[in-house]
Chains A and B, each alone.
Chain A
Amino acid sequence: MKKRTILLLAAALSALMTGCSGSTNETSETTASETVSAASGEKLQYWCELTTTVSANYSNLGDTPFGKGLQEKTGVEIEFLHPPTGQLKEQFSLILADGNLPDLMEYHWISDYPGGPEKAIKDGVIIPLNDVFDQYCPNITKYLKENPEIDRMIKTDDGHYYVFPFIRGDAKLMNTIGLMVRKDWLDELNMEVPTTMDEWHDVLTAFKNEKGCTAPYSFEYTNGQFLGADPFVAAFETNRSFYLGSDKTIHFGAVEPGFKEYLTMMNQWYMEGLIDPDLATLKNDQVSAKITNGQAGASMGQSGSRMGTWTAAARGTTPEFTLVPAPVPTLEKGKTAEMGHIENPFSGRSSVAITTSCKDIERAAKLMDWAYGEEGHLYYNFGTEGTSYTMVDGYPTYTDEILKNPDGLPVSQAMSAYIRGNYNGPFVQDVRYLEQYYTLEEQSQAPIVWGACNGAAHTVPPITPTADESKEFSTIMNEINTYRDEMILKFIFGTESLENFDTYVKNIENMGLERALEIQNAALARYNAR
């Protein structure tokens, strides 16, 4: 008997050891099906990503005061399911392949479901919500009636509603990325915040020569989010990718003459040592280090996670350290920038669809609809009255529980325990959250300074190519984007002469750019016809 136990133990051990050498993909596969099959009868299953400011303190949204309160107030019991951080798309595909869908799924249905939302309905993954809205959702129906532009955005070309959307309720919430520059240095050098490309050149040169910066302008090139928002590209009235031209058709900026001018300027700055020489290998923490220790004097990023964090970090050693937002530069002084990064109020992100597995559609719909009414709106953005906010003259004001958390949590984490207003989710985001979130005057200025452009007119609306088109489109753009990213760096570093810009354009055209634009513009026409 004893002998057998030892044998079994040995067998188990050897299995463990071989198991360890297996690749990680297999382990995630098993956990995926486990989370899904752990279904309990009555509760609604709600699958969503757990944002980092929540996961810092809680492993499940249902454990947060927000999650508990939501169930109490709506009377709906919810079981929250979360994919491991950073594996949203992989987990999504695994759940779909498994076929056992949660009732509600929060996802980017436009860009992250291959083929888009209409395909998701056709594939039998989610249900169209038109009847559901009519029957059970008075709040969102009312909201959409009052906001026809949003109504158009959240429909498919066939007129189907498919999600409870995440909507940014104010223009200030739509431009979160911009340029920032060391104000204390500018004052010391008797310079103004730069507004034109020439002024930027002077400022960066002064930073290099007077302040000894090794990387006067530093940002991580590989951060895709920043690339699309680059204000220096906007200065030449173009874009790295697709934008809506003044002729109301979609253009691809990276092949336009303006883009060549941009590259010429960047190349010149790079040669003069005004741009971080390690541009392509930088990561967030290296940029942070360079800004806070004075190797760099200007950067790009968000007013919250960058400007605020850096200022707080640097003031420990450099009390006068001040970063201020700089507007989208122009070529001529005094002009208002025509382009600039302004997102759509509805981007498609973090929007909740009801799946075909949902048995109690009425209950699910009522739960989601609650967020778009008066009470739900306050709850999602400010939390519980008396605990996380109090009404002061009709203005929901966060309490010290949030702003000066007794447990020493940063504001972003304290907020995330009580609300979803500071990140995203199926509700209308309230600008009054932002007004209180920023602790520095410069941060509050940022949305105004960065938003002072006509960028909104050039943002491509949330169009949806058909399933076949989107496959073809992504095949084409995959090749083009790889080539473009590679060539941009070569042009900037000077390893490829700008005389070859025409060849570069020709190569991109040969990869099928025209067809890609055709698909985009066809989708735009359908969008406009909604």
Chain B
Amino acid sequence: MNKKANKDTFAYRLKKDWIRNRSLYIMVIPVILFYFLFHYRPMYGAVIAFKDYTPALGVASSPWVGFANFTRFFKSVYFARLIKNTILLSVYNLVFGFPAPIILALLLNEVHNKHFKNLTQTVTYLPHFISLIVVTGMLTDFSMTSGLFNDIVAFFGGERSPLLQNPSLYRTIYVASGIWQQVGWGSIIYLSALAGVDQQLYEAASIDGAGKWKQLIHVTLPGIAPTIITMLIMRMGQLMNMGYEKTILLYNPSTYDTADIISSYIYRVGLLEQDWSYSTAVGLFNSLINFGLLLITNKLSKKYSETSLW
């Protein structure tokens, strides 16, 4: 072993870097610990998907059952419906929810009255800070026969009906309320990206005779494209990862048809029926799909736009 090779080892470089950036390393330790303790260590628990887990026996000594829990899910009468609902709701969320903050940011970017701009930004941020329980409570109240939404429907001559008991309206309510709540908050990152676009490019474009629309297409959008694509990839990785909270607060048996998704099913079976192994198996299956989607999007993006996560 000569000295030169020694210098290239990981340990050596780490040591050197440690001496140089000691304070940075100390700062990052809690974060690494956090990820290790709360994100990596619990992964061990996922083995119960392949076991018949009882708390009394513990993770290690519960008997192995192979893929029985997965088979049970694939054979369940609700399997097809759960997958369909989860995918549809996710896709709607993506198709309508993803562009919304971009459009808002572009619009705000064109506003030159500072007071109006600030006011609009504040108003659109605010719903982000309302707790989900309150939002769904409001939605439920507004959707009732005597609620606000029905007042509006009745004002335009429509007939009052309980909106949240109608499976065909559920996805609209779910997605639209999501956009309402997150559009302002989501636009922040695009606004900052917009601020980074070189002003000279706009000048050059206008000298070349480009109007506002052409400027948007040829200067602004390419300028923020890397941000959009990074956000899209991150979002794709979360595509199937729909939280159960909003669903269980909004749905009821009469809307299971369109509302019941994988995570709400896990909640009912796993937490309420205490079927830990089964719900872990379903959750693991869900995560695998997510991981696959993330890989595909990243690959596509690398191929077509040279922007990728790794």
Q: Is B247 an interface residue (CB 8 A)?
A: no
Q: Is B230 an interface residue (CB 8 A)?
A: no
Contacts of B271 in A (CB 8 A): 89-90
The distance from the CB of B301 to the nearest CB of chain A, in whole angstroms, is: 26
The distance from the CB of B28 to the nearest CB of chain A, in whole angstroms, is: 8
A-side interface size class: 35 or more
Roughly how many angstroms separate A90 CA and B72 CA in the complex, as a whole number?
Answer: 23
Roughly how many angstroms separate A82 CA and B282 CA in the complex, as a whole number?
Answer: 31
Q: Is B273 an interface residue (CB 8 A)?
A: yes
Q: Is B38 an interface residue (CB 8 A)?
A: yes
- Which of B29, B31, B78, B165 is close to A489, meaning CB atoms less than 8 Å apart? B165
The answer to whether A279 touches B165 (Cβ under 8 A) is yes
Interface string of A266-279 (1 = CB under 8 A from B): 00000000000111
Roughly how many angstroms separate A14 CA and B256 CA in the complex, as a whole number?
Answer: 41
The answer to whether B56 touches A281 (Cβ under 8 A) is no
Roughly how many angstroms separate A482 CA and B82 CA in the complex, as a whole number?
Answer: 13
- Which of B33, B38, B59, B145 is close to A26, meaning CB atoms less than 8 Å apart? B38
Roughly how many angstroms separate A8 CA and B144 CA in the complex, as a whole number?
Answer: 53
The answer to whether B23 touches A19 (Cβ under 8 A) is no
Q: Is A93 an interface residue (CB 8 A)?
A: yes
- Which of B56, B162, B275, B276 is close to A277, meaning CB atoms less than 8 Å apart? B162
The distance from the CB of A527 to the nearest CB of chain B, in whole angstroms, is: 23
Whether A214 contacts B145 in the complex (CB less than 8 A), given A96-B55, A123-B56, A280-B253, comes out as yes
The answer to whether A97 touches B58 (Cβ under 8 A) is yes
Roughly how many angstroms separate A490 CA and B77 CA in the complex, as a whole number?
Answer: 18
- Which of B34, B59, B165, B253 is close to A278, meaning CB atoms less than 8 Å apart? B165
Interface residues of B in 110-157 (CB under 8 A from A): 140-141, 143-146
Whether A281 contacts B275 in the complex (CB less than 8 A), given A15-B34, A123-B54, comes out as no
Q: Is A400 an interface residue (CB 8 A)?
A: no
Interface of chain A: mostly helix, strand, loop or mixed: helix
Interface residues of A in 113-161 (CB under 8 A from B): 114-115, 120, 123-125
Roughly how many angstroms separate A412 CA and B261 CA in the complex, as a whole number?
Answer: 40
Q: Is A394 an interface residue (CB 8 A)?
A: no
Whether A479 contacts B254 in the complex (CB less than 8 A), given A7-B27, A14-B27, A125-B56, comes out as no
Roughly how many angstroms separate A493 CA and B145 CA in the complex, as a whole number?
Answer: 14
Q: Is A439 an interface residue (CB 8 A)?
A: no
Roughly how many angstroms separate A260 CA and B186 CA in the complex, as a whole number?
Answer: 50
The answer to whether B27 touches A280 (Cβ under 8 A) is no
The distance from the CB of A468 to the nearest CB of chain B, in whole angstroms, is: 10
The answer to whether B54 touches A115 (Cβ under 8 A) is yes
Interface string of B28-54 (1 = CB under 8 A from A): 011101100010000000000000001
- Which of B77, B274, B275 is close to A479, meaning CB atoms less than 8 Å apart? B77
* A8: nearest chain-B partner, CB-CB: B26
Roughly how many angstroms separate A419 CA and B157 CA in the complex, as a whole number?
Answer: 57
The answer to whether A11 touches B26 (Cβ under 8 A) is yes
Whether A93 contacts B30 in the complex (CB less than 8 A), given A280-B165, A281-B144, A486-B254, comes out as no
Which residues of B are at the interface with A, using a C-beta cutoff of 8 A? 23, 26-27, 29-31, 33-34, 38, 54-59, 72, 76-78, 140-141, 143-146, 161-162, 164-165, 252-257, 268-269, 271, 273-276
Which residues of A are at the interface with B, using a C-beta cutoff of 8 A? 7-8, 10-12, 14-15, 18-19, 22, 26, 89-90, 92-94, 96-97, 99, 112, 114-115, 120, 123-125, 214, 221-222, 277-281, 283, 286, 474-475, 478-479, 482-483, 485-486, 488-490, 493, 495, 511
| 25 A-B pairs whose Cβ atoms sit less than 8 Å apart in the complex | A7-B23, A7-B26, A7-B27, A18-B34, A22-B38, A89-B271, A97-B55, A99-B58, A114-B54, A115-B54, A123-B54, A214-B146, A221-B252, A278-B165, A280-B164, A280-B252, A280-B254, A479-B78, A486-B254, A489-B165, A489-B252, A489-B254, A493-B254, A495-B254, A511-B77
- Given A114-B275, A120-B56, A489-B165, 5 extra CB contacts under 8 A: A277-B145, A278-B144, A278-B162, A281-B144, A486-B254
